[in-house]
Amino acid sequence: MRSFLPVLLLIVCLCDLNAQTQDSLYNFQAKGNPLITHKFTADPAALVVGDTLWLFTGHDSSRDGRGYNMKDWCVFSTTDMVHWTEYPTPLKITDFTWDRSGNAYAGHATYRNGKYYWYISTNGSGIGVAVSDRPEGPYKDALGKPLLTRQDCFASTHGWACIDPAVFLDDDGVAWLFWGNGQCYYARLKDNMIEIDGEIRQVKFDDFVFEEAPWIHKRKGNYYLTYATGFPEKTAYAMSKNIEGPYTYKGILNEVAGHSNTNHQAVVEFKGKWYFVYHNGAIQRNGGSYNRSVCIDRLYYNRDGSLKRVVMTTEGLW
Ligand code: FUB
């Protein structure tokens, strides 16, 4: 009788590979969407520094496909959108000793005053901030305590209200943080980037059905707030002439992404082109809502500054 042991061992190894942290550089070439196929990645945040685009992601490793198992975050870079490098694991949920959830939810990194600040969420313990001298890390907890907790989300009662930080550095030098689940909050950051400056406020406007995943970007004097709406999630957007609003709802930007109940985007300009970075659950057979994969497609504007709906493609940019 043939033994199934080798097959079983292979399956166990593959599962472990996905759960493992990265301990060396890993180079790969983009071949379409999903962009990243050697592990499950989610909640992308992009940052351009000089001629390099840095991609910060979450890392899914659900064993049963029924819930999140996210123990660390990942960082990737490219200079041409084709050749990519993944760096050793830069940040783990256990680096935040105050976290009780064990889940490394969405984050967003930025650069200021010679340092990189990575705002991250946990599942219920709050939003933290980690700091590093280099984009690829390693990062360490900058505060030893959460930057924000559910108590700061004054209009919310559920445990996971304080998630999904999005940082935005405006042209006038003011840094802003947006975040939330169910309700969208925002506040200024102090120049040191690790303290909230002043009051926490809520984003409110007509037809704003906010689930999570806020992201702010600016182009030609217009502020764009993109965010996940409904469930399963689509991406919607609103525009304003002022970071604090009033925002005007502009409609759906991206439809439900294949085989994933969440939809978490980054919008970025790199070398004169705009990109929409998101995740889906579309790695065939074993991808899904808790084993997601980062994808990239182009983003285009209409003449009046509004956004054309994203066309999600299998081919991607390549
Ligand atoms: O990845 C965990 C959570 O799912 C994120 O914080 C949300 O944005 C959603 O993508």
Write down the pTM of the prediction. Answer: 0.94
Given a cut of 60, whether residue 60 has pLDDT beyond it is: yes
Distance separating alpha carbons of residues 64 and 278, to the nearest angstrom: 23
Residue 21 Cα to ligand 1 middle (Å): 19
Can you tell me whether residue 32 is helix, strand or coil? Answer: coil
* Residue with CA at minimum distance from ligand 1 atom 3: 105
Distance separating alpha carbons of residues 244 and 199, to the nearest angstrom: 12
Q: Is CATH 3.40.190.10 what the domain over 35-298 is classified as, yes or no?
A: no
**Measuring CA to CA, which residue among 175, 304, 183, 305 is closest to residue 243?**
175
* Residue with CA at minimum distance from ligand 1 atom 9: 262
pLDDT in tens, 241-293: 999 999 999 999 999 999 999 999 999 999 999 999 999 999 988 899 999 99
213 lines ligand 1 (CB under 6 A): yes
Which atom belonging to ligand 1 lies closest to the Cα atom of 213? 8
Structural tokens at position 144: 């030893």
Name the residue ranges covered by the structural domains of the chain.
Answer: 35-298
Distance separating alpha carbons of residues 180 and 211, to the nearest angstrom: 8
Which atom belonging to ligand 1 lies closest to the Cα atom of 228? 8
Residue 3 Cα to ligand 1 middle (Å): 40
Which atom belonging to ligand 1 lies closest to the Cα atom of 121? 6
Per-residue model confidence (pLDDT) at position 18: 62
Kind and range of the H or E run holding 6: helix 5-19
* Residue with CA at minimum distance from ligand 1 atom 4: 262
Can you tell me whether residue 117 is helix, strand or coil? Answer: strand
Which atom belonging to ligand 1 lies closest to the Cα atom of 212? 8
216 lines ligand 1 (CB under 6 A): no
Distance separating alpha carbons of residues 8 and 16, to the nearest angstrom: 12
Can you tell me whether residue 105 is helix, strand or coil? Answer: strand
Q: Is the peptide bond before 90 cis (omega within 30 degrees of 0)?
A: no
Per-residue model confidence (pLDDT) at position 4: 47
Distance separating alpha carbons of residues 146 and 121, to the nearest angstrom: 9
pLDDT in tens, 77-131: 999 999 999 999 999 999 999 999 999 999 999 999 999 999 999 999 999 999 9
Distance separating alpha carbons of residues 56 and 52, to the nearest angstrom: 13
Query: Is-contact 75 89, C-beta < 8 A?
Result: no
pLDDT in tens, 134-190: 999 999 999 999 999 999 999 999 999 999 999 999 999 999 999 999 999 999 999
pLDDT in tens, 299-312: 999 999 999 999 99
Choosing from 121, 226, 229, 291 the residue with most ligand 1 atoms within 8 A of its CB, the one to mutate for a pocket test is 121
Distance separating alpha carbons of residues 161 and 138, to the nearest angstrom: 28
Distance separating alpha carbons of residues 119 and 121, to the nearest angstrom: 7
Kind and range of the H or E run holding 41: strand 40-49
Can you tell me whether residue 106 is helix, strand or coil? Answer: strand
Distance separating alpha carbons of residues 246 and 240, to the nearest angstrom: 6
